[in-house]
Chains A and B, each alone.
Chain A
Amino acid sequence: MGATNLRIAAVVLGTIGLYTVVCNAIPQVESEVPREMNLSGDVTPEQLVSAGEELFNGAGGCTACHGLGTRAPNLLTDEHGQGTIGARCGTRKPGMTCKDYLHESLVKPTAYVVPGYQPIMPDMSRTLSPAQIWALVAFLESQGGEVTVSAADVKAAAPAPAQGVAPAAPARSATTDPVALLRENTCLTCHHLGSEGTTIAPPLDHIGATRTADYIRRSILDPNADTAKGYEKVAGIMPKDFGERLSAAQLEALVRYLASRK
């Protein structure tokens, strides 16, 4: 019986040992915590690029999609003859500089979705600090382009020290023209209206025929309250802060306009 017990122990330990050895023989990748970087003050573009590269290959988690070229554009290699991301970023959106486009892509990823890809990128401002986001922009610019991010961008993005005075709110458009509001708030990046927009999210052309004003209002203010059938895959993509972005008059103008689209 002693020999049998020894054989059983050998089989058990051998099996466990084999699995442990195999797991230690494969590439070891740890999911790092995005660490705070001391990038304020007189940080140089080179330091920003270096910090951005570290984030891109590590805690930013960017390579899970952007390193492949199947789920998202590969940023480090040429795409359709347009060069690497630093070379092509300035031509993605007309009138937008490379720096602004890359920054918008990180903090408002659904504002522009490269044709052929799904809007799956998360808002990186939820996990990275403003300084880290500028570092990523600097690194991406360096991939075939000129680094234009500077210490001033980092400084401007840093939270203002508390001085007992509330910081001024960002300027908000006062227009109540619903179509202008749809354009300003980049709704047509996902929705379709007239000859504009895409069909990533439900089209707005005849939305009033099937939805009430109350439903439309709720969908703007609380986009996760209900998901239109057939669009489950993009649930959660729509920003949830339109209640803060729009004034009451703007919201009601938008609701009235959409409800009238029979």
Chain B
Amino acid sequence: MTPESRVSFPRLAGFGGLVLLMLGAVAVPAFAQQAAAARDYGNFPLVGGRGAIWIAAEVHLMFAAFVLGVPLFAVTVEAIGIFGTDKRYDKLAKEFTRLLLIAYSATAIWGAILVFFLSTLYPKFWTYMSTIFHVSMWVYVGLFFFESFTLYLYYYGWESLKDGIRKKIHLGLGVLLNLWGTAVMFIADSWLSYMMSPPPQVSTDTAPETIRLWSAMANATWMPINIHRLIANVVFGGSIVGAYAAYRFLAARTDEERAHYDWMGYVGNFIAISSLLILPFAGYWLGREIYQYDQGMGITMMGGFMSWLWIIQAFLIGVLFLAGNYYLWVGMARIPGAERFTPYTRWILGVLVLGVLVWSTPHTMIASRAEQAAMGGSHHPLLGFLGVMSAKNTAVNLMILSTFLSYLLYRRANKRPSVSWARAATRVQAALFAISAAIVIFFGVYGYFVTAIVRIGFSVYQVLSVIVTIVTVLVLDVLMLRGAESRGAIRWGQMPARSQYALLVLAVTFTWLMGLMGFARSGIRQHWHVWNVMRDTSPWAATPALGYASKMISVCVLIFLALIAIVFWLGGLVEKSTYAPPAAAGAERAPERELAIAGGAD
């Protein structure tokens, strides 16, 4: 097989997916209009119409999140390689991009499946949506076309655009790829956010032909969802890359390969966890917009039949925090000098476990009269105390602070600062941590003694104190460690296998969490296709309980992970690892200059 014939597979698959998608988006509305005249809903064997749409939409979304998230940090890593003159980053960026190449085709194929399912299983609804959004659907297809070609140019032009100004042009292609991808996502988000929050003047009697496209697109939840997804995609992409690196690490035959994939796994995990820390803030914004748009919808989301969903979410995020920290602590064993920080990890673990327990404590439960009587009121005494937002916000903020402390210890493990003010700066850092924790706890306790409206405002002070601490401490650390002496090079590759399984758990949990949040976003519409505008009259209109939803989510996750495993295997066939053997890599080792992303630079 020639190199050309080997690279032709993803290209062919990509074009195949693209053609399918274009066929779906352009041809199907007309077909759907004919079908709608005959029936409102179709059926699908075994899982029914809703089940088929659920799987197609969720798997498409998982692939889409991956192919939108990976370019975001691939281009960032490439830029670090260019401006930091460290070629390891450039090679890493190329390997990231190779991972997404075939995944991109899978995204398009699942998108086409979704469109065909929508038009055949929900023809009336599809006609309604395409009547309003058909112009944006055409634009979407056009942008997808540009995005595809930019991706191919970006990946296949890597070697021919590797020097001088051509390298900058290549970086520009990466930026352009992200712009196309973000625009595509924004358009798709406008469709689903319209279903959640149609403009207030739209009612059941409003003819879809009379609804202006922009007023439908620029609805109340559009931008919060855009931002939330943008960040979540980076988190998701980072975790999947981390899982890929873990798999390759476990399968590696040489120490060099293990060292490379150990480092790759670290970078993927770093990106995932650091982006995860800012995701809750975007989530709060989205939640606030939902409440402002429709209090009833907000209450259904947080306190109605979905109240238990947030307990499960807390449990999953708890797993993410614990697994992410565990990976860092295990990784410290390969860093000379890290042993001096080992005693601190048990305290951090204690804070994290307590935080997860508090965050996972339910508060509002739908209870019958008999159950309320048995509890002695509408709340269980203990749950009523720990399950309120004062306790949960305190727990979450302390968990974020603890995770940041873990990262800081990891980062400083093999460094000996050489600046004269290092001791004073370390004391300032410690004081900042203590003050921030005190502020978080103070407002957490004070929240029990004020009204709900006042209490909600306290979360802002808690979040601000944590953000200020993280930024200030990190800036101090970067300045302090400039020119620091090394206590010894990081022994990349000398990681126990259990650390790699932690990366796999992180990836599976992120994927499952994405499925759960998709159910939450879609489920709060209850029996409405479009909230209070278009009622779902299908046999599957009732929103299922979490047990059924969890089975559907698990099926979607399994399909996605099985396919992504095939994608990675195909990627391995296309090109061998970009890892450079030691002889060649010796000249390319990271300089002593500190890069925040790499932790210990060695």
Give the interface of A toward B (CB within 8 A). 1, 4, 7-8, 11-12, 15-17, 19-20, 22-24, 26-34, 57, 61, 63-65, 67-71, 74, 76-77, 118, 120-122, 126, 222, 224, 232-233, 235-236
Identify which of residues 284-312 in chain B touch chain A, using a CB-to-CB cut-off of 8 Å.
292-296, 299-300, 303-305, 308, 311-312
CB distance from A154 to the nearest CB of B (A): 22
Do the beta carbons of B508 and A12 come within 8 Å of each other?
A: yes
> Quick check: A236 and B547 within 8 Å, CB to CB?
no
**Interface range, B side:** 35 or more
A74-B378 in contact given A64-B303, A68-B364, A122-B296 (Cβ < 8 Å): yes
**Contact call B299/A71, Cβ cutoff below 8 A:** yes
Chain A minimum-CB-distance residue to B298: A120
Given contacts A74-B378, A120-B295, A233-B292, contact A4 B550 (CB under 8 A): no
B326 in contact (CB, < 8 A) = no
Q: Are B303 and A28 in contact (CB under 8 A)?
A: no
The answer to whether B175 has its CB under 8 Å from any CB of chain A is no
Are B545 and A64 closer than 8 Å at their CB atoms? no
Q: Evaluate contact between B308 and A68: CB separation under 8 angstroms.
A: no
Complex CA–CA separation, A4 to B292 (angstroms) = 50
Contact of B366 among A64, A70, A120 (CB under 8 A): A64
Asked if B200 and A69 sit within 8 Å, CB to CB, the answer is no
Least CB separation from A74: chain B residue: B378
The reply on B420 being an interface residue by CB < 8 A is no
Beta-carbon contact of B504 and A8 below 8 Å:
yes
Residues B305 and A11 in contact, CB atoms below 8 Å apart: no
**Are B509 and A26 touching (Cβ within 8 A)?**
no
Q: Which residues of A lie under 8 Å from residue B501 when comparing CB positions?
A: 7-8, 11
- The segment from B268-276, B536-544, B576-584 that touches chain A is B536-544
Q: Look across to chain B and name the residue whose beta carbon is closest to the beta carbon of A124.
A: B296
Q: Does B558 contact A (CB under 8 A)?
A: yes
A30 vs B526: C-alpha distance when bound (angstroms): 10
Q: Which residues of B contact A57 (CB under 8 A)?
A: 368
Is the CB–CB distance between B315 and A22 below 8 Å? yes
Chain A residues near B452: list those with CB within 8 A: 70
Which of B308, B505, B512, B547 is packed against the most chain A CB atoms within 10 Å?
Answer: B547
A34 to chain B: closest residue by CB: B527
Interface: B369 (CB within 8 A): yes
Is B2 an interface position by the 8 A CB rule? no
| Shortest beta-carbon distance from A222 to chain B in Å | 8
B536-572 with Cβ < 8 A to chain A: 536, 541-547, 549-551, 553-554, 557-558, 561
The answer to whether A61 touches B304, judged by C-beta atoms less than 8 angstroms apart, is yes
Contact B303 A24 (CB under 8 A): no
Given contacts A19-B554, A27-B365, A76-B372, contact A4 B250 (CB under 8 A): yes
- Chain B residue, CB-CB nearest to A227: B292
Assess the B550–A19 pair: CB atoms within 8 A.
Answer: yes
Are the CB atoms of A65 and B299 closer together than 8 Å?
A: yes
In order of increasing CB-CB distance, the 8 nearest A-B pairs are: A23-B550, A64-B304, A31-B543, A28-B545, A24-B547, A120-B295, A122-B296, A29-B305
B247 within 8 A of A: yes
Q: Does B532 contact A (CB under 8 A)?
A: yes
Minimal Cβ-Cβ distance residue in B for A236: B200
B542 & A33 in contact (Cβ 8 Å cutoff): yes
Indicate if B254 sits at the interface (CB-CB under 8 A): no
Cross-chain contact of B527 among A28, A33, A233 (Cβ < 8 A): A33
CA distance A57 to B305 in the complex (A): 11
Q: Say whether B505 contacts A232, CB under 8 Å.
A: no
**Is A16 touching B296 in the complex (CB atoms < 8 A)?**
no
Q: How far is the CA of A235 from the CA of B300 in the complex (A)?
A: 18
Residues of A within 8 A of B378 (CB): 67-70, 74, 77
Closest chain B residue, CB of each to CB of A31: B543
Residue B454 is within 8 A (CB to CB) of chain A in the complex? no
**B338 touches A (CB below 8 Å):** no
**What's the nearest-Cβ distance from chain B to residue A136, in Å?**
16
Contact of B600 with A by CB under 8 A: no
The total of Cβ contacts below 8 Å across the A-B interface reads 137
* Minimum distance in angstroms from B382 CB to a CB of chain A: 17
Tell whether B71 is near chain A: CB-to-CB under 8 Å: no
Name the residue among A29, A30, A77, A232 with the largest chain B CB count within 10 angstroms.
A29
Given A15-B509, A33-B542, 6 other A-B contacts at CB below 8 A? Answer: A24-B546, A28-B546, A29-B305, A31-B300, A32-B542, A33-B527
Subset of 21 A-B contacts with CB under 8 Å: A7-B501, A8-B504, A11-B504, A11-B505, A15-B504, A15-B508, A15-B509, A20-B550, A24-B546, A24-B550, A26-B311, A33-B527, A61-B296, A63-B304, A63-B367, A67-B372, A70-B452, A120-B299, A222-B201, A232-B292, A235-B292
- Residues of chain B within 8 A of A26, CB atoms compared: 308, 311-312, 546-547
Closest residue of chain B to A23 (Cβ to Cβ) is B550
Contact with A along B242-267 (1 / 0, CB 8 A): 00000100110000000000000000
* Interface SS, A side: loop
Specify which chain B residues have a CB less than 8 angstroms from the CB of A4 in the assembled complex: 250-251
User: Which of B294, B295, B553 has most chain A Cβ within 10 Å?
Assistant: B295
Instruction: Give Cα A33 to B538, complex, Å.
Output: 10
Whether B250 pairs with A8 at a CB distance below 8 angstroms is: yes
* B177 CB to nearest chain A CB (Å): 30
In the assembled complex, the Cα of A74 lies from the Cα of B373 at a distance in Å of 13
Most buried by B among A8, A31, A69: A31
Residues on the B chain within 8 Å of A61, using CB = 296, 300, 304-305
Cα–Cα distance between A119 and B558 once the two chains are bound (Å): 44
Q: Residues of B contacting A63 with CB < 8 Å?
A: 304, 366-367
Indicate whether A65 sits within 8 Å of B549 (C-beta atoms), given known contacts A12-B504, A31-B527, A120-B295: no
Closest to B369 in A: A76
Do A15 and B551 have beta carbons less than 8 Å apart?
A: no
**A126 and B532 contact, Cβ closer than 8 Å, known pairs A64-B305, A236-B200:** yes
Please determine whether B526 and A20 come into contact, CB atoms closer than 8 angstroms. Answer: no
Within 476-519 of B, Cβ neighbours of A (below 8 Å) are at 501, 504-505, 508-509, 512
Among residues of B, the one whose C-beta sits closest to the C-beta of A223 is B200
Cβ of B331 within 8 Å of any chain A Cβ, yes or no, is: no
| Residue B523, interface by CB 8 Å | yes
Determine how close the nearest CB of chain A comes to the CB of B124; give it in whole angstroms.
17
Return the chain B residue nearest A235 by Cβ: B292
Are B558 and A16 in contact, with the CB atoms below 8 A? yes
- Say yes or no for B316: interface residue by CB 8 A criterion: yes
**Given A64-B299, A68-B378: A29 in contact with B545 (beta carbons within 8 A):** yes
Is B303 in contact with A65, judged by CB distance below 8 angstroms? Answer: yes
Does A31 lie within 8 Å of B299, measured CB to CB?
no
What residues on A are CB-neighbors of B299 within 8 Å? 64-65, 71, 120
A126 partner residues in chain B, CB cutoff 8 A: 532
Contact indicator B200/A224 (Cβ below 8 Å): yes
Q: Are B554 and A20 neighbours in the complex by a CB distance under 8 Å?
A: yes
Residues of chain A with a CB closer than 8 A to B523's CB: 31
A15 contacts which chain B residues (CB < 8 A)?
504-505, 508-509, 512
Q: A61-B300, A77-B372 are in contact. Are A67 and B550 (CB under 8 A)?
A: no
Minimum C-beta distance from A110 to chain B (A): 12
Query: Bound state CA distance, A222 and B199, in angstroms?
Result: 13
Q: Tell me whether A29 and B557 are in contact (CB under 8 A).
A: no
- How many angstroms from the CA of A7 to the CA of B43 in the assembled complex? 39
Pairwise interchain contact A31-B526, C-beta atoms closer than 8 A: yes
**Whole-angstrom distance between the alpha carbons of A68 and B549 in the complex?**
26
Cβ of A16 and Cβ of B557 under 8 Å apart?
yes
User: Which B residues are in CB contact (< 8 Å) with A67?
Assistant: 366-367, 372, 378
Residue of B nearest to A126 (CB): B532
Complex CA distance for A33 and B526, rounded to whole angstroms: 8
> Within the complex, which residue of B295, B296, B300, B549 is in contact with A23, where a contact is CB–CB below 8 Å?
B549
CB atoms of A31 and B366 under 8 A apart: no
